[in-house]
Structures are given as structure tokens and as C-alpha cells.
Chains A and B, each alone.
Chain A
């Protein structure tokens, strides 16, 4: 109960401090907007699946806000329907890699000694292996038909740099008085890590989550774009891939087809990243005074 209360309180403070940075807060609101549009929007705007030969590659109009694709279908409805998968994969991957990074990062920083050396050795090796090539090879060996398995795979690969950051944060927290106190009361490593260190790293964990999510968006769109995960249906990555393959880049009116998913992906990335900048204010008071 106390943990929940503490978390809520720090969340309230977090929101208030976040609003100090207007750009960051705008990014935060944009993230919420995109999430709402992607999850609530589909209930109001049906996906246009009817081929209309007379409406191929049209530029935006009152009827089709974002124009039409190579089969004359409405792009706006595809954008509305295409965000859900991207966000779900990002959240699964982000939460998983943050969980790994926070658990083992704090353990590594706090336990020290052999545990630390072991965890860091694995992390360093993982950090050195280029993620995308590894991902491509794994994707060619396994089949990812659903969103969850892709999210899990991305989450399992994307933690090393976060873990390092969490560890160094844990190392500096370790020296603080309240941790000393908990240790002298002999409260045990698990208690200290999850009851003392993790709550005090809440804001930092949220930043890690945001960064892990941008990494997951980057990787999943790449996999879909290069045809390595056989996703079908409406997904921003699939739209981008189709538009690229169908030569949407060559005509003045069709360029909208490729620009719309690009805009959606970049806007999502940008808002998550700017939200991080706002969250950094929460995390680093020194930046706050510079405002």
C-alpha cells in the first residue's frame, strides 16, 4: 500500500514538474493523443478495405483527409487502425526490457562483487553485438506471426544500455543515507532493492521505459518494412512497406501515401523523445534551474 501511495505521489509531482518544460509537456500530450486515436479511434472510424479503381493515389481531400492508396482505399482510416500494433509491440518490448534492466541493473549495482561482474560481463557482450543484424537473423530463423512474440523478442534484446544506466544510478543511490539505514536494520537485499532503491528511481525508470519504447518502434518498423516479419493488415510499418514497393514515391499525388505512415511514426517517436526531455527535468534538478 505504501509503495502504491509513494508511486502515486511521485507521479503527481512528476506531472507538475513536467509541465515546466512546455515542449516536453506538449510531447507528452501528443503521446496520449496518439494512443487514444489508435485505441479508441477504430471504434468510430471503420477500416476502408474496398478497392476503388477510380480513386487510386489521390491527394488529400475533404472526402479522404490523407488521400488514397494504390487500391483507392482511404489512408486516414489506415493510419487510425495502424497504430495499435506498433504501440502494443513498443509497450511489451519497453516494459520487458525496462524490467530486465531495472531488476538486474539495481541488483548488479547494489550487490557488487561477483554478481556485478557476472551481470556486467553479459551486458557488455550483449551491448557489443549489433542489435539489428542479430534481430534480422533471429527473425529469419523464427516465425513471428503475432504482435506479442515480436514484442517479447525485442524486449529480450534491447536492455543492455538501459541496464548500464540503471546500474550507475543504483551505485550512486547506494551511498545515500536511507539505504545505509535500511542496511544497518538488516532488511535484506530484496527489500532494499524493491522497497528502497526502485521507488526512488521511479522517474528514471519512466525515462528508461520511454527510451526502450523508441528503440522497439525503430526495430519493429524496420523488420516489417524489410519484409522480415510477415505482418498483414493495417500497420504503419506495413503501409510504409507497401507504399515503397508500389512506387508511391514517384507521383505528386501518391507521395501522400508514403508520407502519412512516415509522419505517424516520426511523430510518435518525436513525442516519446520530447516527453523524455520533460521527464529529465524531474530526474535532474540541475537542468530545472537552467530553465
Chain B
């Protein structure tokens, strides 16, 4: 069929396409994985030196406390501190650092000061799952409903619905999450008495056994409902507004006009052409949001007495249990790093352009 020579006819891509190995080395995900590992390393190091090198570092504070409270001699207080922090204070700093890293690898984060004999890891095992559950579910609900509502607002631009939702979104995102939590307790719980706040404390009702039972899931949801409501209500507004403006710009894209010209069903255009493309930029904001919500869990869990890892952290801070503080802070940060990497994976799966670093 083709007789004329055509310079652009056959793709030169074949030559330009990197080999599989080179492609992986250059790939977005690998770079993100390296970044996550680097960040984790920096955070681990930072946590160690924060504890050891600050002028009023917790070990010194703790030694002084022991000396004052129990009138211990310095060396005895020092030995006890060393034992609890799982650090040999006699060694040079750099060797202490390697011991600390070694401990981490073995899963040893030290032992609680205030509940002697309880390793920090046992706190993490007990409390972290509840935070992962409530924060994770809240992020998913908030992101999904923000995307759907933002899309709706962009399609019904300048309508009454759009104006109402815009005001609502702006007001909600201006309220600090812990204040919204307090408001929920005051009005829903105490003044109107619609929600049994007192019974919702804790992460499970007494007597309910964890397992794959309906009763367990219902109870877990019952206890997590208020924290989740607080996270969702305070974050959904910014997703809505971002999605709205992103959708408005995607609606002007040529490929949307072409999709209409092709006679595609409006439902298909809205989901696969407009929605998916408009939601992509939101994934890059997911990292910031994850950190913010996880950080906020410290306050929210305390307000609702929800027994997750954030609750444990604030308890440890208030009671100056430095070993628990250090370990829990590290775990919270590592969870955020992992969640960010997960968000990146999702993003690269949804946007083929970034796989080989084109859009980076």
C-alpha cells in the first residue's frame, strides 16, 4: 500500500526504548523507593541524635529525674537509663549509633520507662493497627468523596449546589481537626445527646474478640466512627476544592471534546476521560495529606480516647516516657513514609506518563 518514503512513518521508538533493566533503574518507582529508604534512614538517624545530642536530651533529663526523685547516685541512675534506652552510654557515640541501628534491625526499640519490662514494640503491636485502620479508612473516604463532590461541583459550576458546597468546603477546611472533634463531642455527644460518646471511647468494647466476625467489624467501626468523622470532615474540603479546579481545567482539554465528538456515553467521559485525569494531580498532594492526618491522630485519638498509636504518643509525651516517645515517633514516621510510597505506586499505575520519568 505504501509506496512513498515517509520519514515519520515507522516509530524510531524501538531504538530509543531503554532496555528493561535500564528502564527499571530510571523508573519512577525505583527512584521513589530509593527516596523512601533514604528518608527512613535520615529519620532513624535524626531520632537517635535528637535523643542523644540535644542540650536537654531525654537521657540526661531522665538521669537527673532519677537522681532527684529516688536520690540515686549518678552512676546507678545512668546504668538504669542505659538499660531502658537499650544504649551503652560508655561506648563512643558512633558505636552507640550502630548498636541502635542493630537493635532496630532486630526489632528492639527499648523498654518503656514507666511500665518497666514492657518493650516499646509491644505497644506498637497493640496500638498501631487501630490508627492504621481509622486513619486509612478516613483517608480513603475523604479522598473518594472529595473527588466525587469536586467533580460534581465542576459539572454544576455556578449552580446553587456548587455555591453551597464551596462555602461548606471552605468552612470545614478552616476548622482545626481537634476543634472539630471537640465540637462533635459538645453538640452530638453532650448537648443533643445523639451519639453515645462515652461508650465510643477506646478502640473496642470490652468482651469483643478480634477476628473475622461481623460483630468485631461493627464494634471496630462504632469506636472509630468519631475519629474518622473528624478526619474526613476536616480534609474533604480541600480535596473538593482542588478536584473542582482540576476538573474545570480538564473539561477544557481537547481530548474531552474529541470524546464527545466520538459519541461516547457521558458516564464514560466523566469517569475515564474527565475524572481520572482530573484526579491525577491530587495524588501528588496525597503525601502531604497523609502526614497531616497521621500527625493529627495524636490529638484526635486523645480527644476521643481512641486507643491508637497517637494516643500512646501523647501519653508518653505527657508522662515523659522518652523511650516510648522515641520508638513511637519513629514508627509513625516510617508508616507515613510507607504510605507515601504506596500513594506513589498508585499514582504511577494511574498515570502511564510518569513510569519512565517523563513527567517528573
Contacts and interface: CB of A to CB of B under 8 A. Distances in A.
A128 B61 CA distance: 28
A161 B238 CA distance: 15
Contacts of B43: 125, 128-129
A179 interface: no
B314 A266 contact: no
A226 B191 contact: no
Contacts of A139: 317
Given A137-B317, A270-B174, A132 B299 contact: yes
A252 B191 CA distance: 7
Interface string B22-39: 000000000000010011
A221 interface: yes
Nearest to B158: A290
Contacts of A131: 291-292, 295
Interface magnitude class on chain B: 35 or more
B291 A140 contact: no
B170 A273 contact: yes
Contacts of B295: 130-133
Given A129-B43, A136-B314, 7 more contacts: A128-B336, A133-B313, A226-B318, A227-B318, A258-B186, A262-B179, A269-B176
B288 A265 contact: no
A235 interface: no
Interface string B52-64: 0010111001000
A73 interface: no
Given A127-B288, A134-B329, A140 B320 contact: yes
B86 interface: no
B313 A136 contact: yes
Given A134-B329, A222-B299, A127 B174 contact: no
Contacts of A225: 178, 299
Contact of A265 (B173, B179, B248, B298): B179
A249 interface: yes
A18 to B, nearest CB: 16
When A and B form their complex, which 7 residue pairs have the shortest distance between CB atoms, in order from nearest? A130-B295, A132-B295, A270-B174, A269-B174, A273-B174, A249-B186, A218-B176
A131 B332 CA distance: 11
B317 A262 contact: no
A250 interface: yes
A128 B340 CA distance: 8
B161 interface: no
Contacts of A273: 170, 173-174
B299 A128 contact: no
A180 interface: no
A48 interface: no
B337 interface: yes
B186 A140 contact: no
Contacts of A222: 176, 178, 299
Given A125-B42, A226-B302, A140 B329 contact: no
Contacts of B50: 137, 141
B16 to A, nearest CB: 25
B182 interface: yes
* Secondary structure call for the A interface: helix
A262 B298 contact: no
Contacts of B287: 127-128
16 contacts: A125-B42, A128-B291, A130-B294, A131-B295, A132-B295, A133-B313, A133-B333, A136-B298, A137-B317, A141-B56, A161-B288, A221-B176, A227-B318, A240-B182, A250-B190, A277-B170
Interface in A241-256: 244, 249-250, 252, 255
A134, A244, A259: most-surrounded residue (chain B CB, <10 A): A134
A214 B296 CA distance: 15
A262 B56 contact: no
Given A130-B333, A132-B299, A265-B179, A228 B190 contact: no
Given A266-B175, A273-B173, A128 B317 contact: no
Nearest to A130: B295
Given A221-B176, A252-B191, A128 B337 contact: yes
Interface in A111-134: 121, 124-125, 127-134
Contacts of A274: 170, 174
A62 B171 CA distance: 30
B183 interface: yes
A62 B174 CA distance: 31
Contacts of B220: none
Contacts of B296: 132
B325 interface: yes
B200 interface: no
Given A133-B329, A226-B314, A255-B186, A214 B174 contact: yes
